[in-house]
Amino acid sequence: MGPLAPMEIISENTNFLLAFLTGIGFGFVLEQSGFSSSRKLAGIFYGYDTVVLKVFFTAAITAMLGLLFFSLFGWIDLNLVYINPTYLYSAIAGGVIMGAGFIMGGYCPGTSFCGASIGKIDALVFIGGLFIGVMIFGAGYSLWDELYMAKFLGSPKVSEFLGLSDGFFALLLIIAALGMFRVAEWAEKKFPADEY
């Protein structure tokens, strides 16, 4: 039964090695999906390329269904799976800041490293900005720690927040994803890439 490290089935060192190898695999998949291109990534905001939406939603649904089935078969204890604590106001502020950076720079933090790994200069500049932002945040933490820690909601799952079972929420999310995929196909036809 998992998770493997908390259940002491594997050591912390093995856990770090597996995380490292998984990260390399994730980066490879991102690069193969074209996520090292800021133009492709920014396409989601303009409607001409929705592969970002499709890949990430497919990955999220696959992981969600995998965890649900693993739990059903008794292979993983979902109560031991770490969920980030939610601080609502800082999550909103961070989402706005990251979203603005994503639109302006064409990268999110993960895809900027993906782009840098194949020598993209714009991705390297974006990473430089990321580190400057981290240093400013760290140096000025006392100025915004109240915002950072505001509106603590614990570690709720969306299904719990909505009062739904995990399985029913998964079904609704799959239906929503299929609807978004249809809208994405429509957007790519309506806003062709050659216009940008």
pLDDT tens sequence across 23-56: 899 888 888 888 888 888 888 888 888 888 888 8
3-state helix, strand, coil in the chain (%, to 5): 70, 5, 25
pLDDT tens digits, 96-149 = 998 888 888 888 888 888 889 889 999 999 999 999 999 999 999 898 888 889
pLDDT of residue 194: 67
User: What confidence category does residue 92 fall into, taking pLDDT thresholds of 50, 70 and 90?
Assistant: very high
Distance of CA 80 to the CA centre of its chain: 21
What is the rounded distance in angstroms from the CA atom of residue 125 to the CA atom of residue 133?
12
* Percent with pLDDT over 70 in the chain: 98
Which of 47-51, 85-89, 119-123, 169-173 shows the lowest per-residue confidence on average (mean pLDDT)? 47-51
Q: Decide: residue 24, CB within 10 A, 0-12 exposed, 13-18 middle, 19+ buried.
A: exposed
pLDDT of residue 196: 53
Is 169:161 a contact under the CB 8 Å cutoff? no
pLDDT: which is higher, 4 or 63: 63
Detail the DSSP E strand segments found in the chain.
Answer: 86-87, 152-154
What is the rounded distance in angstroms from the CA atom of residue 115 to the CA atom of residue 27?
10
pLDDT of residue 195: 56
* Helix/strand/coil for 75: coil
Among 98, 105, 107, CA closest to 34: 107
pLDDT of residue 22: 93
Phi and psi at 105, nearest 5°, equal -95, -20
Is 53:185 a contact under the CB 8 Å cutoff? no
